[in-house]
A and B are shown apart, each in its own frame.
Chain A
């Protein structure tokens, strides 16, 4: 019963955001919803310039905004990023986290400076800070990563982290869009985390600690608004799994997901 109420709440929240996102007069027919809302922030061109390559853009992408539900539980997860800047200099904010039974886990937030890598077509270098802020103890990391598009259009983002406690972490994220039709898109996605040392406070073990992988089928009503359904497998490994087992929780789960992919 409790779960059902929670599920309803999450659904209502998602629908609220959906309604908010879709403009009042948006039609499903034209792929580009008529835009009456605020336009993306673009600075005025410099007075002396005949045109304005150095526009400042602001974008936000919520890739995962979803309920994850199976027979045992329902959790809410988000994973998104926003950036602002020009072609060559950008500030990125990334945020992800899971809310399950009133507590937030896996809350990880990054602020990164991003710049295209010289002589590379599709990859950017990123450097900045990561803060693990959730129900557990707070950790701070320096972050160094690259993010971009590999051949065959795989989105890949490996990042290296060095914590204030001298720990080293690593993360690889990857995804790919497989177009079934122009609007129906299947997206396999995976995120892997590694740590150099155990962190009992956050119940993280050394080595490969966890995997979050999913297969999502979304329908792009327009590019900025795409509901999806999918299947997610999460697993914990090594000492991380041990910590989890000690607290009586399962170390892996398979869940049905439903959510929205949103852009601004």
Chain B
């Protein structure tokens, strides 16, 4: 309990965070590694994020000059640093954070992934008024979960200018993940341009930052590989639709420098270790517009947590981290040497880079970036018959064409339930296919905690994060019978128009597809179907209804939305407190969208049944159909949006009301 009386105290990170001193020799090496011929300049050291722990935090938001690329710019800093300090909390504590706005414009802090009362969620205009210039707002909430999270501004484009920071929440019980040392790896994308300029440029020309458009030069090199005829027919097919297979990212390395903990590739953030140690790396994608593909050449990574929730360890060489997602991995370097943390962007227009080393100043080679992926007709949701005629479609990902063919299915009959479509899933549940197991669990749970029964769950909200001691909530027969009958969703009819450039005619589950540019690269790459929760999900009730949402957009106009509607024109999504819904997302665009639901968990239906992973942000690939379950256990108004900053701003945003 003494913890609760702790005042905020600053301490240094577990490891020395002294800046990597550039010797002449290493500076030379770095120059050689610079991308796009940028001159190597002596980078002014940025204020480095420290770590603050305790249960009361004083945070001041102000404009601070930074120099990332050789030009001085203004960032939005927290307590003088950008990214802001890492906040270390403890599960079970009640946190207060008094946030003072020293900017000339309103600000806010949103605690990403936190299950907290709506008024503390920090979305101006939705759950609170925002923090006016000169004012202090005191956030206060109980911490009901543990894991790696982050915080960021939900006002204007402040997130893009640096108002981000990591949150580590230590768990009440002993952490089952063993490690000797830990580091936060907070990825971000920095531009010297004003974010309003970026947004404005995209509105005028959505290809503004795309220097990989189809050209005569690329035609000739492609024709050499694939043949003139097929290259031409493919080009014409894309051209007819006014689209381009080179559309991977809207904002690219043409303006971005990619950072690890605020450090540019040439300043090379370094974390020290002693060989043989188990190091826990807490990866957070705090960027505004960038998907990163992460690997540490020479070091396999064991993924142990996703979005703050434990998953069964899975060892991979590489994983993609969507915007706002977090992944905790364990690495155990045995050699007394250096390893490069290499985070290349999905469009391969740049990379963030850091180093794990046994001594300051050690560096490891930086690998060359992988080939740039291209979109395929499949990403456009073209139907199969048309696709078959296309040649040269090497990028096609056929795995998981529908939900029932997911890999989890074969391994585990229990897993079948979640992955199948609604009607069959519930039918099987009622057949008792899955029941005996759960009944036992149920009885045990009831015996110990009678209050866990369905009827009393309102008093127990929000439901706890799955953990070793959480008891599942099991539906009683009567409720699930009603649920089953009422389960339905009304498919949304989409029409092309100014806000909808295309409607995918063929969508599929792609959970075992690692993503564009990551298939068949010779490495073991994490996929969503690899994520199996370590602990059984809390709410075992089947959903009582389905909500189908299309992710839509018109790339040319740079308008994005759900179901063809932009936020200001759209009705909120209403959920009844206590109900359990299935949200089905269908991506009608040719880009990935990381979809984030505030305040509630998103249980990804990836074929692991009761062990489906709990997430707060879910990537939906082009022409993909993804479903997840949501227990509406916390009342309030919640934001629901694409975490690509400029997609959110241009309309891919909804209000979810739980009442």
Contact = CB atoms under 8 A, between A and B. Distances in A.
Nearest to B502: A121
Given A25-B71, A51-B648, A53-B651, A59 B211 contact: no
B36 A30 contact: yes
- Which label, helix, strand, loop or mixed, suits the secondary structure of the B interface? loop
Nearest to A150: B242
Contacts of B194: 35, 39
Contact of B200 (A50, A57, A120): A57
Contacts, number: 147
Interface in B91-140: 105, 123-126, 129-130
Nearest to B213: A179
A122 B215 contact: no
B215 A179 contact: yes
B645 to A, nearest CB: 9
A50 B653 contact: yes
Given A50-B639, A116-B498, A180 B215 contact: yes
Interface string B229-245: 00000001001111000
Given A152-B239, A223-B205, A119 B211 contact: no
A263 to B, nearest CB: 7
Interface stretch (A40-48, A105-113, A133-141): A40-48
B172 to A, nearest CB: 33
B209 A54 contact: no
Contacts of A178: 216
Interface residues of A, number: 46
Nearest to B567: A53
A150 to B, nearest CB: 8
A88 to B, nearest CB: 7
A110 to B, nearest CB: 19
- The size bracket of the interface on B is 35 or more
A225 to B, nearest CB: 13
A48 B69 CA distance: 36
Is chain A's interface secondary structure helix, strand, loop, or mixed overall? loop
A185 B240 CA distance: 19
B217 to A, nearest CB: 5
Contact of A116 (B192, B215, B557, B641): B557
Contact of A182 (B211, B500, B653): B211
A137 to B, nearest CB: 36
12 contacts: A31-B254, A32-B209, A34-B69, A51-B641, A51-B653, A53-B649, A55-B199, A59-B204, A61-B204, A87-B557, A87-B566, A122-B554
Interface of B: 36-39, 69, 71, 105, 123-126, 129-130, 154, 156, 191-194, 196-197, 199-201, 203-205, 208-209, 211-217, 236, 239-242, 254-255, 495-498, 500-501, 554, 556-557, 559, 566-568, 639, 641, 648-651, 653, 655
In the A-B complex, the 10 residue pairs with the smallest Cβ-Cβ separation, listed nearest first, are A116-B498, A179-B215, A40-B200, A32-B255, A34-B192, A50-B125, A35-B193, A31-B254, A182-B211, A53-B651
